[in-house]
Structure 1
Amino acid sequence: MTKSTTMNVHDAKTHLSRLLERVEAGEDVVIARAGKPVARLVPVGDRPQRRPGLAKGRLTEAFFEPLPADELAAWEK
């Protein structure tokens, strides 16, 4: 299990270099604003490797059709 620490934005800005050292050591750091978590610092190496072609054969031709006007308008808001 990975150790996790929560820190407010001001402290994170003040101690960023130390936080990065902790993250490099394997710790997750959650940054919170007004007590609400908004971001997580994690080591870059923890990201799973992407596999091209993972969705091959799973998408129908309908996936590539233009969106209906009402749905397209909802995305443009």
Structure 2
Amino acid sequence: MEKLNLYDAKTHLSKIIQEVARTGEPVVIAKNGQALVKVVAYREEKPKRKLGFMLDKGTVSDTFIEGFDRMNESEIKDMFEGKYE
């Protein structure tokens, strides 16, 4: 992290901002050796996906669920027993 004095930062502010935005590396601006501020690149945060957003939005019939559990049952059994090619 680069540390610049206040006078240099005022003189070259646009250049400093472009460099921080390009590299993402923060810069500390100091006065008399004491850190005053840290310039960091702004990154837009993507909204986090919310789990359960489809809860209570639809239904699945019991017959589908029962059929799903038996789907390809014989083929799967054959694969485990080595009969399926």
CA distance in 2, matches of 1:39, 1:27: 14
1:1-77 map, 5 Å: 4-25=1-22, 26-45=24-43
Looking at both structures, which has the greater relative contact order when contacts are Cα pairs under 8 Å and sequence separation is at least 6? 1
Runs of at least 5 residues in structure 2 that lack an aligned partner in the other structure: 49-85
Runs of at least 5 residues in structure 1 that lack an aligned partner in the other structure: 52-77
Runs of 4+ in 1 over 2 A off after TM superposition: 48-51
CA distance in 1, matches of 2:28, 2:20: 11
Residues 32-63 of structure 1, C-alpha deviations (whole Å, 9 max, x = no match): 010000100001117x6798xxxxxxxxxxxx
Identity %: 36
CA distance in 1, matches of 2:16, 2:38: 11
CA distance in 2, matches of 1:32, 1:7: 6
TM-score of the superposition, structure 2-length normalised? Answer: 0.49
More strand by share: 1
CA 49–15 in structure 1, closer or farther in 2 if over 3 Å, else same: same
Q: How many residue pairs align between the two structures?
A: 47
User: For the aligned residues, what is the CA RMSD?
Assistant: 2.1
